[in-house]
């Protein structure tokens, strides 16, 4: 049971129950749609940046498991007010931590609350759940693709 609690931290469960920024965003100037075909997770990320490339507003909607929903919720809260460059850097750090490439202690220092997702590294099949919102956010900002899939 303790490994399970390691993955499903209270903060994750809270954000699953009461997701933040969980709504569409009229006036968004970036948007992308992300799928995880393995489990049917499906989200939209909406972003409004200002003329200085600062993320003014960021929201999401869609459906998915607790990990993916909490991740989207915490990510949107975290990125609000950051620059596009900072968001892309955060994506890299987050990705490296959940895939176990770098130690959570070092990598998560700059990620603050997002450290709760460090437990995902012990559940390789769930890494895609934790990173889906991030991939979708990155696609929205870089506009390489508008529909992304984790497969």
Partner 1 sequence: MNTDIKTQTPTDIFNAAKARLDFPALHQEVHGRPLVYLDNAATTHKPASVIEAVNRFYQRDNSNVHRGVHYLSQKATGQYERARETVKRFINASDQSEIIFTRGATESVNLIAQTYGRNFIRAGDEILISEMEHHSNIVPWQILCEQTGATLKIIPFTDSGEIDLNVYQKLLNPQVKLVGIVHLSNTLGTINPVTEMVKMAHAQEIPVLIDGAQSVAHIPVDVQAIDADFFVFSGHKVFGPTGIGVLYGKLDWLKQLPPYQGGGDMIHSVTFEKTIYADVPHKFEAGTPNIAGAIGLGAALEYLTSWSMDEIVRYEDDLLRYATAKLRNVEGLSIIGEAQAKAGVLSFALEDIHPHDIGTILDMEGVAVRTGHHCTQPIMDHYQIPATTRASLAFYNNRADIDALMQALQKAIEVFR
Which secondary-structure segment (H or E) carries 77? helix 66-79
Q: Is 118 in the site for partner 1 (CB under 8 A)?
A: no
Q: Is 13 in the site for partner 1 (CB under 8 A)?
A: yes
Tokens standing for 133? Answer: 């919102």
Say how far apart CA 10 and CA 66 lie, in whole Å: 11
Q: Is 147 in the site for partner 1 (CB under 8 A)?
A: no
Size of the site for partner 1 (CB under 8 A): 22
Give the distance between the most distant pair of CA atoms in the chain. Answer: 48
Say how far apart CA 74 and CA 93 lie, in whole Å: 15
Task: Rank residues 112 and 124 by Cβ distance to partner 1 and give the closer one.
Answer: 124
Task: Rank residues 64 and 104 by Cβ distance to partner 1 and give the closer one.
Answer: 64
Question: Cβ of residue 8: shortest distance to partner 1, in angstroms?
Answer: 5
Tokens standing for 33? Answer: 């749609």
Name the residues that contact partner 1, by CB under 8 A.
Answer: 1, 3-5, 7-8, 13, 16, 38-42, 63-67, 123, 125-126, 129
């Amino acid at each position: 049971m303790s490994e399970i609690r390691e993955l499903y931290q209270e903060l994750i469960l809270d954000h699953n129950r009461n997701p933040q920024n969980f709504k569409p965003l009229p006036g968004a100037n970036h948007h992308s749609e992300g799928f995880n075909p393995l489990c049917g997770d499906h989200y939209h990320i909406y972003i409004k940046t200002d003329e200085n490339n600062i993320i003014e507003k960021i929201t999401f909607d869609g459906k998915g498991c607790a990990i993916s929903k909490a991740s989207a919720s915490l990510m949107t809260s975290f990125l609000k007010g950051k620059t596009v460059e900072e968001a892309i850097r955060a994506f890299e750090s987050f990705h490296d931590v959940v895939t176990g490439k770098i130690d959570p202690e070092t990598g998560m220092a700059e990620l603050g609350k997002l450290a709760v997702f460090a437990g995902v590294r012990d559940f390789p099949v769930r890494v895609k759940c934790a990173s889906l919102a991030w991939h979708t956010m990155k696609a929205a900002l870089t506009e390489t693709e508008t529909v992304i899939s984790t497969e």
